[in-house]
Amino acid sequence: MSSPSGGRPRAAAADPPTRATGTRLIPGPRVRRAGRLLPWHPPPAADRLLRRAARLRYPALSSALAALALAGCGVLILQLVHRQTGTVGLLVGMGLALLPLPFVLGALAWLNQTARVPLRHTLFCLAWGACAATTVAIMANGWASDFLVAHQGSATGETLGAEFATPLIEESAKAAALLLLLLPVRRRLRCRAERTCAVLARRSPAALRRSARRLRLRPQPYFHARPYTHPQTRSRARANPRTLAAGVVLGGVTASGFAFTENALYLGRAFTDDQQSRLDGIGLGATPSLRDFDSTVHTFVLRGLLSPFAHPLFTALTGLGLAVALTTGRRGLARLAAPGGLLLAMALHGSWNAAAGLGTHGFLLVYAALMVPCFAALVCFAVWARARTARHAQRHAVP
């Protein structure tokens, strides 16, 4: 029944809305409380505060939190290494571990001309590998070693720890940096009541309305995901050299920081042991010679000269698998590339650790038959990526 003015009666305005099939209405008082929470016209002070908060950027906040977390991990790992090496051993180990680092980073910087990874991301990966990944690795390796020795015996537990537990822990810790850069998370305001969310978003400024959207995952620009192609044209999908090179660069930089801290630990421990053996053998007054530090020299030749690219090679496989998963147009390959790259990195790392217990001849055999071909393949990939990018730039250059 309509009113004389043509509208609905006043009493009908207060009637509850009709319940739709399969829906559940939120009571009115809950909506009124939400409306009073954020009025239609906020006070001037609150409006200015919201406008200032809207100017803040989540990358700045996340960068500050990441820097604080990595600084804390750096202090912790420095204390852990100092506890095992001493002050002199720590300084000597860091000095010797620093010698091969410029060559590794220089090679990755040359490849980065193709990947174009921002400097802040490479610095984050370097700090993650040197501080966070090593902290996790030292603690987790100690717990895993104690557990395996307690349940499997001394010899079997140490073998299982070196060949299986250590590659699993270390490669997973290094791969976490790539995952953090691959899928940065934008925080959004999350509400349980949809009706309340709608009222809050409708009666809020534009900045709060944008922040009320759902959680989104956005990859970095150098990790653009290619949409899946049609099965008839799937064979024409090609890998993106920039994405593949970015995966190698991020993995290699993360592993370079990890290798620096690990070399500092092993070299500092070897120097401390040699110094103690020299003091116990010939005393303090004798002039030291290079023969008195055989363990330090052997460790430096093995880790600094023969295998400076060992850890970067392992983690580069993980980054390459993640890049293939984002670039390929094949659905099956996209699902298997990332875990396959991680498992391949773990297998190569475990083989490298197992070669250390085979003696000098066994180690050289594994080094020549496994490490050298893998490193040569990585070098060929870097040259291919650079050459293809140069040809692409020359082809699309404006005359």
Q: Three-class SS string for 78-126?
A: HHHHHHHHHHHHHHHHHHHHCCCHHHHHHHHHHHHHHHCCCHHHHHHHH
Q: Residue 18 gets which letter from DSSP?
A: P
- Cα distances from 82 to residues 91, 92, 263, 278, 329, in angstroms, run 9, 11, 13, 21, 49
Measured between alpha carbons, how far is 376 from 178 in angstroms, rounded to an integer?
23
Q: Could you report the per-residue pLDDT of 5-39, keeping only the tens digit for each?
A: 444 444 444 454 444 454 444 444 444 444 444 44
pLDDT per residue as tens digits for the range 165-222: 999 999 999 999 988 887 654 333 333 334 444 444 444 444 444 443 443 445 566 7
CA distance 100 to 304: 6
Structural contact between residues 121 and 251, judged by C-beta atoms closer than 8 angstroms? no
Residues with Cβ < 8 Å from 12, sequence gap 6 or more? none
pTM, to two decimals: 0.74
Residue 237 gets the label, from left (phi > 0), alpha (psi -120 to 50) or beta, of beta
Q: Where are the domains of the chain?
A: 71-184+219-388
CB-CB contact of 185 with 326 (8 Å): no
Q: Secondary structure of the chain: what % helix, strand, coil (to 5)?
A: 75, 0, 20
Among the listed residues 122, 124, 139, 128, the one whose alpha carbon sits nearest the alpha carbon of residue 74? 128
Instruction: Assign 237 to helix, strand or coil.
Output: coil
pLDDT tens sequence for the chain (399 residues): 444 444 444 444 445 444 445 444 444 444 444 444 444 455 666 666 656 655 545 556 667 888 899 999 999 999 999 999 999 999 999 999 999 999 999 999 999 998 889 898 999 999 999 999 999 999 999 999 889 988 888 888 888 888 899 999 999 999 999 888 876 543 333 333 344 444 444 444 444 444 434 434 455 667 654 444 444 444 444 557 888 899 999 999 999 999 999 999 999 999 999 888 877 666 555 666 666 788 899 999 999 998 899 999 999 999 999 888 877 777 788 889 989 999 999 999 999 999 887 877 888 888 899 889 999 999 999 998 888 888 877 776 645
User: Which residues are paired to 216 by β-bridges?
Assistant: 186
How large is the C-alpha radius of gyration of the chain? 29
Q: Do the Cβ atoms of 73 and 139 come closer than 8 Å?
A: no
Q: What local confidence, expressed as pLDDT, does residue 211 receive?
A: 44
Indicate the SS3 state at residue 186: strand
